[in-house]
Structure 1
Amino acid sequence: MFAHLVVLTNLLVAVMAAQDPVPFNTTGPPFEKMTTCDSQGPLSCSLEDPSQENLCCYESPGGLILQTQFWDTSPPSGPGDSWTIHGLWPDNCDGSYSSDCDPSRNYRDISQLLTDQGASDTLSFMKTYWVDIHGQNEQFWEHEWWKHGTCYSTLQPSCLPSGSPRGAEAVAFFQQVVALFKTLPTYDWLASQGITPSRSQTYTLEELTSALKAASGFVPEISCSGGHMINEISWYFYITGSLLDGGWNPIDAPKRGSCASTGLRYYPK
């Protein structure tokens, strides 16, 4: 019924290296034309007074976007040759986060919404790459939507075309998260620079950040359990226009994660 998102594979590698906006030009989701926003508008977090803007086309207050990924080994989750999705989080441009912004849209049927609105391919991908370590995928997806998805100003139901079905903005959110994740192959980028999971090898933080900078053009935030066990990474963006069809502008992480400088372990799953 609705067009699936067209993912431009490997697009981000070239675009990030050039330090240009990432153009998420799509034919969905879930509408052939999602918004009338100008993707060349002001960069999120750049305006002192966002109240003068159409907040369907200017993401505020959460204009610094984090695409966060897991590397779970105990217990392992997801494929052995890929990181998995944690979420897509809107930072309020100052290190703070809004949370659970609209309880009236705390949907409890994410899988059904995706299926009913023609996004079964997205759901199938999520079952492999957006997984809970305890097998509670549906609750995990609900949590990520409730806590973070409902806080995007450009994902308000009123920002979507008239007559949109219930939960269409949530469907669009999950499709966009999956699309962005596909352009951020952290495992492949590390492997391309000789950094692969190992029970014996240790790495320095500088080796990891330099490898990812060389492969992608940008430095993410890397976090570790106990300071030494690599388990999470966040890629940072500002956007222009709507989260659904705006321009994605990658930046170096504005802060360091929780990893020590040396002795970092990247265990295989």
Structure 2
Amino acid sequence: MGKWESSILTKFVLVLSFATVSFANSNSGLRAFYLVQQWLGSYCNQRGTKCCYPPTGKPSPDFTIYGFWPYYRDGSFPYNCGDDNYDVGRIKFLETRLRKEWPSFTCPQIGRKFWVHEWNKHGTCSKSSLGEIPYFQAALNLKNRANVFKALARAGIKPNNRFYSLKSIKKAITRSIGFHPWVVCNHNAQGKSQIWQVTLCADKTGRKLVNCPYIPRGRGNCASKIMFPSFY
């Protein structure tokens, strides 16, 4: 397993440690999707983390898609649900949007392999509901509807390295988007608690936002006041 895959797997386990992750069970049934968005500044300023911009250069400040994960009725987050020889050429017409909304910041850059990884690990577990192209289209469309950056900006919450109450951040997102978010924090190199990920949910068709079937309480290591760091 490469360094990139190891890092992704580690973070996936940490974020979803509240649930038992299992391989796909044909009798489980898809219940919902978790749309996870991350703030690049909080991902890249962690101790020991190095980020590289995509070939298109430094993106504009925004939350970007971290993952689009199926959630099953039995409470599991399945992954690697089949050997799918995915042809990334199928989503070439989506690449402009994917580079902007769902980019990879790994070093070195891995290009299209990143989206192949996402499909093979997560998308294959939603094939009963979404095919290859609809899977990516659904994530992109939902991200545009759930614009976390704009929601926070409307409430005067900006990436200025200042501290904001966790309550005010959740309130701003809920008021703007209409659904309660699950906010996950991490710590920067100085050990300060900061906003990292925001999760919202979609129904099993991937077409509309819904209340998350399960949001763990007390997870994410968020302090009562957290920093919103500048963009990386």
TM-score (norm 1): 0.62
Extract unaligned runs of 5+ from structure 1.
1-49, 52-59, 157-168
Q: Which residue of 2 aligns with 1:159?
A: none
Alpha-carbon offset, residue 151 of structure 1: 0.5
Q: Is the 8 A contact 2:147 2:177 kept in 1?
A: no
Q: Report the Cα distance in structure 1 between the residues aligned to 2:91 and 2:179, rounded to whole angstroms.
A: 32
Letter of the 1:114 partner, please give it: I
Alpha-carbon offset, residue 94 of structure 1: 4.9
Letter of the 1:147 partner, please give it: K
Letter of the 2:143 partner, please give it: F
Q: Which residue of 1 aligns with 2:157?
A: 195
Q: Could you say which structure has the higher strand fraction?
A: 2
Distance 1:124 1:262, change over 3 A: same
Q: Report the Cα distance in structure 1 between the residues aligned to 2:194 and 2:110, rounded to whole angstroms.
A: 23
Larger relative contact order (Cα-Cα within 8 Å, sequence gap ≥ 6): 1
Q: Which residue of 2 aligns with 1:133?
A: 105
List per-residue Cα deviations over 1:152-174 (Å, max 9, x = no partner).
14247xxxxxxxxxxxx312211
Q: Which residue of 1 aligns with 2:119?
A: 145
Q: Which residue of 1 aligns with 2:171?
A: 210
Distance 1:213 1:153, change over 3 A: same
Letter of the 2:179 partner, please give it: F
Counterparts of residues 47-66 of structure 1 (less than 5 Å): 61-66=29-34
Q: Which residue of 2 aligns with 1:7?
A: none
Q: Report the Cα distance in structure 2 between the residues aligned to 1:229 and 1:94, rounded to whole angstroms.
A: 32
Letter of the 2:140 partner, please give it: V
Counterparts of residues 1-269 of structure 1 (less than 5 Å): 61-73=29-41, 74=44, 75=51, 79-103=59-83, 105-107=84-86, 109-110=87-88, 112-115=89-92, 120=93, 122-134=94-106, 135-155=109-129, 169-199=131-161, 201-226=162-187, 228-239=193-204, 242-243=205-206, 248-252=208-212, 254-256=215-217, 257-269=219-231
Alpha-carbon offset, residue 61 of structure 1: 2.2
List per-residue Cα deviations over 1:106-126 (Å, max 9, x = no partner).
42x42x2223xxxx2x21111
Give 3-state SS (helix, strand or coil) of 1:154's partner: coil
Q: Report the Cα distance in structure 1 between the residues aligned to 2:148 and 2:156, rounded to whole angstroms.
A: 13
Q: Is the 8 A contact 2:145 2:177 kept in 1?
A: no
List per-residue Cα deviations over 1:15-61 (Å, max 9, x = no partner).
xxxxxxxxxxxxxxxxxxxxxxxxxxxxxxxxxxx96xxxxxxxx52
Q: Is the 8 A contact 2:32 2:202 kept in 1?
A: yes
Q: Report the Cα distance in structure 2 between the residues aligned to 1:84 and 1:99, rounded to whole angstroms.
A: 21
Distance 1:254 1:97, change over 3 A: same
Distance 1:83 1:76, change over 3 A: farther
Extract unaligned runs of 5+ from structure 2.
1-25, 45-50
Q: Report the Cα distance in structure 1 between the residues aligned to 2:112 and 2:75, rounded to whole angstroms.
A: 28
Give 3-state SS (helix, strand or coil) of 1:63's partner: strand
Letter of the 1:61 partner, please give it: G
Q: Is the 8 A contact 2:142 2:208 kept in 1?
A: no
Q: Report the Cα distance in structure 2 between the residues aligned to 1:259 and 1:238, rounded to whole angstroms.
A: 27
Letter of the 1:151 partner, please give it: C
**Structure number with larger C-alpha Rg:** 1
Q: Report the Cα distance in structure 2 between the residues aligned to 1:265 and 1:80, rounded to whole angstroms.
A: 20
Q: Which residue of 1 aligns with 2:16?
A: none
TM-score (norm 2): 0.71
Distance 1:151 1:215, change over 3 A: same
